[in-house]
Amino acid sequence: MVWPPPVVGRARTRAGEVLLQRVAGPSAERTRARVHTTPGPRWFAPDRPVRTVHGDASMYVGGLAALLLQSLHPVAMAAVAAHSGFRGDPWGRLQRTSAFLAFTTFGAAEDADRAVERVRAVHARVRGRTPDGVPYRASDPHLLTWVHIAEAECFLRAHQRYGRHPLDRRGEDGYVADMARVARRLGADDPPATRAGLTARIAAYRPELRATPDSRATARFLLAQPPLPAVARPPYALLAAAAVELLPPWARALLDVPYTTRLLLPVARPGGRALTSAIRWATPPPPTAPPVAEATGGAGSGAPGPPAARSPQDSRPEAAPPGG
Q: What is the CA radius of gyration of the chain?
A: 19
pLDDT, mean over the chain = 85
Rounded to the nearest 5°, which phi and psi values hold at 74?
-60, -35
Contacts 24+ apart (CB under 8 A), 79-87: 79/126, 79/128, 79/136, 79/138, 79/143, 80/214, 80/218, 81/214, 81/217, 81/218, 82/128, 83/126, 83/128, 83/138, 86/218, 87/221
What pLDDT was estimated at residue 281? 87
Length of the chain in terms of residues written: 324
Mean pLDDT by 10 residues, the chain (324 residues): 55 56 65 90 97 96 95 94 71 81 96 97 94 94 98 98 98 99 97 99 98 93 88 91 98 94 98 94 75 57 40 39 43
For residue range 5-33, list pLDDT tens digits in order: 665 555 555 555 555 655 656 676 788 88
Q: How far is CA 140 from CA 79, 109, 135, 148, in A?
A: 11, 25, 11, 12
CB 132 within 8 A of CB 75: no
* Distance (Å, whole) CA 282 – CA 105: 22
CB atoms within 10 A of CB 204: 12
What pLDDT was estimated at residue 226? 85
Rounded to the nearest 5°, which phi and psi values hold at 229?
-70, 160
For residue range 283-314, list pLDDT tens digits in order: 877 777 655 566 655 554 343 444 444 333 33
Residues in a beta bridge with 108: 42
What value, to the nearest 5°, has the Cα angle with vertex 322 and ends 321 and 324?
85
What pLDDT was estimated at residue 306? 40
* Distance (Å, whole) CA 140 – CA 34: 31
Rounded to the nearest 5°, which phi and psi values hold at 291?
-55, 140
Amino acid at 44: F
**Residue 162, burial from CB neighbour count under 10 angstroms (0-12, 13-18, 19+):** buried
* Distance (Å, whole) CA 173 – CA 59: 18
What pLDDT was estimated at residue 97? 87
